[in-house]
Structure 1
């Protein structure tokens, strides 16, 4: 049996990282698995780029730009520019050799000019079962990646809060109907990375009577391991005696990552701490460092980290990891932090409560509460050495038990076997 994973990106963004980890985990389990992406960032076994020549790479960039331009006249504001994908621009890969050779197609995050709804229709028309691991809500909405409090996706969308002019027959409604037509004859098995997302997907009429599965993203717990804090801090040239609060995101300034809540909570925390000068910040991710200059604690900005050893060192050097995201599915960053034995403080939203057990592996914060976010950070900092070591062990054990790549690979292998044998 051969499986082909389809993803817009190779290693950029949480969805691509998760897809790549699933592909590699299956290969390490001895299974035949490949991944086809719009364009590779680096050479890697079992990963193939659709764009290989200079011309193909330029065309790939043009498709991305055209995809964004199709939404530009409709967007409510610049803040939602990347929060909605009409799915009108993409390429037909149905005749690609890897697609033709595959027994099962495994979709991941495929927007931004890689696959349009029409492209998906052509894949669904092939006599092949399709697994779709959903890393956000796009597969079952009229175009938004996270609907927030809007529930219109459950029944044909329309009146979309992301659009400049919303109406019952707006862009989200037409997008929902295009997906409905594309899904009609598909041998489709939707999979949510979290139970929260699977539950949301099940509420959409787009999936009709389909049984939505829930399988988490994997992590290699032999790579993401706890390092002694002294070693991690030495590697990153950090002072050994400080307490470190970690913040990390693919793009620090992204509105949904909640940096403003982090900043406000730190201001409160500084007032609450008896010795605020003992606490410093550790931050990594892409973005403008000028955003950090108004933070009320000294910070160490590591920029974008690509090397896994550096990432492990960053998590291990920290006393806690703060994730104030306003919208999340099953964040890789939480998984990575906990695998390194670093407890997590985050809002009770999306799939985060499935990962963080309150005051057992971290601290679950009341949604959008700056005060509780500050309290959660302080609660971790106030733990005794013995209590902290127990938090750390609990966090690591939870990841090993639920998210280790061997555990997740077995779940996908069982799903593949089930759907391949299923009569349609």
Structure 2
């Protein structure tokens, strides 16, 4: 049995990716169990560590303790959740599922689910460990994305996330702890993008470790093309306007690059488009948009998410840092082309001028050019067909489950 471990369940990019992989493995006949901190909704062979009222309080307490550990040292409020000290977490080493597992498969385990001490106890069991990296935290001194800092390539210190960066700061300490933790541990590191795998191979903490790129997966029977008029009618959207979709768990996260999208639609040639926004936020956050905005808020129901993708003429992803965004995969599975920046794993998903447009990073002008290119070249639906085909060939459940099955077999049987 392979035990998948994830803080979140069907929430956030990493939580969704972990749950989708678990589902794909089960559909492929692979014995997978998913343990999360707390369950979002019931699912097959899925359990919560916090399965009692006392454990739920303890899970919340661990999250608070971990945040309090970082709070006095944070540079400012904007980085509060961008650095994880992993100082508090649950000891799951004696949990029955952990004991039964042949392979332990880690995903995103921060925010009080697993601490560095928790990981140390798991690693001490001597079981093969697969770790799918959903950001950079595994090989940094605590940040989830480096924001231009390259100290992880040698030794983390003078961390830009800290109020008082220093030679022996919190990032330095966590880096040393991870060095000790990873030593002599049979880790196999999996990155959803080739971009992240390249960083893994260069990072001081993980260079020389077994690593490879295996993308996240998606259910292409759920996320599929549908009638645009029906989708717009269901969501109360205009039937005759060009709609540009911006989607994200937190639309106000600077890393998502919304300001560049706002500038792009100021282009006079895009005066007739309207914008569709999906994710956490408030309507007043978008009052200064130069075009009309339709704010759908946060949508958790898959059916409504699919409707939103099918209602849109394209998805815009101006991320400044990102791994392999679920939103791009979801949109393309629905046949909705994407214009996005040439950052992280985004250009691995978008084939420039074939199924979408890859824009110059931090360039609103280039993003506007991409929007116009898709509007012009997808009139007959060819770009949409290419987008859907890319997902079927590279990100379907069957394709990704087969790659993980081969990996698991190699770890168990050599």
Which residue pairs with 1:272 in the alignment?
269
| 1:21-57 deviation per Cα after TM superposition (whole angstroms, max 9, x unaligned) | 0001000111110111111122222211111222221
2:92 pairs with 1:93: yes
- Unpaired runs of at least 5, structure 2: none
Are the aligned partners of 1:253 and 1:288 in contact in 2 as well (CA < 8 Å)?
no
Conserved in 2, the CA contact under 8 Å of 1:348 and 1:364?
A: yes
Give the aligned partner of residue 215 of structure 1.
214
The match for 2:348 among 329, 344, 354 is 354
The aligned counterpart of 1:231 is: 230
Q: Output the TM-score relative to the length of structure 2.
A: 0.98
Counterpart of 1:407 (choices 393, 399, 405) is 399
Cα distance in 2, alignment partners of residues 165 and 284 from structure 1:
37
Residue pair 2:192, 2:214 contacting (<8 A) in 1 also: yes
Deviations 1:250-304 (A, max 9, x none): 111112111122112222x2x224xx24x21111111222111221111211111
Q: Where do residues 15-414 of structure 1 align in structure 2 (5 Å cutoff)?
A: 15-267=14-266, 269=267, 271-273=268-270, 276-277=271-272, 279-383=273-377, 385-386=379-380, 389-414=381-406
1:221-259 deviations in whole A, cap 9, x for unaligned? 111100021121122122211111001001111121111
Conserved 8 A contact 2:157-2:168: yes
Return the alpha-carbon distance in structure 2 between the equivalents of residues 266 and 37 of structure 1: 40
* Stretch deviating more after TM superposition (181-190 or 230-239): 230-239
Contact 1:75 1:164 (8 Å CA) reproduced: yes
Question: Structure 1 length as normaliser, TM-score?
Answer: 0.96
**1:384 offset after TM fit, Å?**
5.7
Give the secondary-structure state (helix, strand or coil) at the position aligned to 1:385.
coil
Q: What are the Cα deviations for residues 329-359 of structure 1, in whole angstroms up to 9, with x where unaligned?
A: 0000000000101110111000001001111
Partner Cα distance (1:92, 1:45) in 2: 24
CA distance in 1, matches of 2:57, 2:118: 20
In 2, the alpha carbon distance for the partners of 1:169 and 1:361 equals 47
Residue-by-residue CA offset, 1:107-150 (whole Å, 9 max, x unaligned):
00001111111111111111210000000000011101011221
Q: Which moved more, 1:35-44 or 1:391-400?
A: 35-44
- Report the CA distance shift for 1:369/1:281 in structure 2 as closer, same or farther (over 3 A): same
Offset from partner CA, 1:366-395 (integer Å, 9 cap, x none): 010111112211222233622xx1100110
Distance 1:153 1:20 in 2: 29
Deviates more, 1:404-413 or 1:209-218: 209-218
In 2, Cα distance between equivalents of 1:419 and 1:41? 31
CA distance in 1, matches of 2:410, 2:378: 48
Look up the match of 1:10.
9
| RMSD, aligned CA | 1.1
294-303 vs 346-355, which moves further: 294-303
Residues 149-158 or 331-340, more deviating? 149-158
Which ranges of 4 or more aligned residues in structure 1 deviate by more than 3 Å? none
